Chains A and B, each alone.
Chain A
Amino acid sequence: MGFDTAYEGLAADDGDLRWAFGTGFHDALAGVDTTIPDGIGGVDLATYCLMLGDDALIMSHRLQQWLAHAPELEEETALANIGLDLLGQARMLLARAGAADGSGRTEDDYAFGRQVPEFLNVHLAEVTDADFGALVFRLLVFSTWRLALLTHLRDSRDPVLAAIAARGINELTYHRDYAAQWVVRLGDGTDYSRARVQDGLRAIVPLTGELFAATPLELRLARLCIAVDVTGLRSEVDAVLTQVCTAATLHWPGVADVAAHGGSGRDGQHTPAMAPLLGELQGLARSFPGALW
């Protein structure tokens, strides 16, 4: 190609020698047809996109907080890449929300401009991890549940949601395998590693009820074949978690019947962990409104 290295060729046209791609933010759905299917309320669709988008955004942020804290470099690259996949899903879903509700809000407006009660993510995404054992168990439950959800969302009548789901399924398959393999390794490991992941399991169980409690909006959109009725995912998710825990010589008690924490993240009610998380996530954007980097 007439260049000393292939990398120089990248900047040949405009002299832009940035190496950090993706630093200039733009519409995550640029060039995608975002027409809303007939008979669907734009605000309903937008709210549903925010639910799924916030799950991914907040979980991604928690994973990013592990960078420079993971036990090994290989695990940091894994957690960073899983976080990047989820961030990519979040960007498309938040952009879809802004296009659907007619507000014209961008992904940045949603990520940086909302307060705690305006976020609709489940509590499982926002809680902190006591240690790496707790993290891998939380990631196992999150990715198992989200993979099941997206597997059904692939058949959504909204072509954009269906496409985001189809893309996400392949990614979450890797995430779930990564987490499951660590749970087995720690659970079926030393007494100490087993105790760590067992504590993680114990902390997560009460958060699982919320994952299968469908809101009226989800049920409404599920009847229109837009959304997934999460109540139907319970046995599928339980079966996978039982399989992993059995291999890890841990006991999986089954997902909780009801959400134990007061209120649901789907209604904007969050745990005390959420405010500090947003403080970090939004700090720069709030200090320097409109900043680009």
Chain B
Amino acid sequence: MTNRVRTSDTDGTVLITDDPAQMLHRARAVAALVPDPELPMLSLADLGILREVTIADGHLVITLTPTYSGCPAMREMRRDVHTRLLAAGFADVEVRTALSPPWTSDWITQDGRRKLAAAGIAPPLPTQRRTAGPIPLTLSPLPRVLTCPHCGSTNTVLTSAFSATACRALYRCQACAEPFEYVKEI
């Protein structure tokens, strides 16, 4: 890597280094904190879409994975990562997209799940992974047992399988009567 990086932390600590390990550590820390545009309480690391931070062909390479095919925020995320790394002192940055393996909600970290719940959004249940064969049909709403992020009751009911974004469904709590969103397991 040709970069010699001079970066400064928010507390003013200045780091000048050309040590690859230190640079990667620093780059990962910067990229990990970029917020998701549609769920800004989560960082890209919380969401599990920051796949790799590495040095290849002489420059810093950040690899992201889109959540859904139609994710309209992918461009913003790529740009935000790029902008923040430049601001942090990295001169030669490439943001790559890895389509495979596809993102799964299982990659949302424990931290991310806590932040979702704190923001009133129920975090996803574990997915049922299938490796081969036709995917079975589900003819009635999935019997999910969700905990209301407002009052903690598990007496909740699905009101819509889709919500403001493709990754969320809409539920209502029968105990406190509040609606809430649920990040779907996928």
Contacts and interface: CB of A to CB of B under 8 A. Distances in A.
A152 B68 CA distance: 20
A171 B72 contact: no
Interface string A154-177: 000001101110111111011011
B184 A174 contact: yes
Interface of A: 1, 6-7, 9-10, 13-14, 21-22, 24, 26, 29-33, 74, 77-78, 80-82, 84-89, 91-92, 147-148, 151, 159-160, 162-164, 166-171, 173-174, 176-178, 180-181, 184, 236, 240, 243-244, 247
Interface string B62-97: 001010111111011010100110010000001111
A164 B70 contact: no
Contacts, number: 142
Contacts of A87: 70
A89 B139 contact: no
Interface residues of B, number: 49
B68 to A, nearest CB: 6
6 contacts: A21-B75, A30-B75, A31-B78, A147-B135, A167-B102, A171-B186
B137 interface: yes
Nearest to A80: B162
B69 A168 contact: yes
Nearest to A56: B69
A148 B99 CA distance: 20
Contact of B99 (A26, A164, A173): A164
Contacts of B41: 6
Nearest to B185: A170
Nearest to B64: A31
Given A10-B37, A30-B78, A78-B162, A184 B139 contact: yes
A184 B138 CA distance: 11
A171 B68 contact: yes
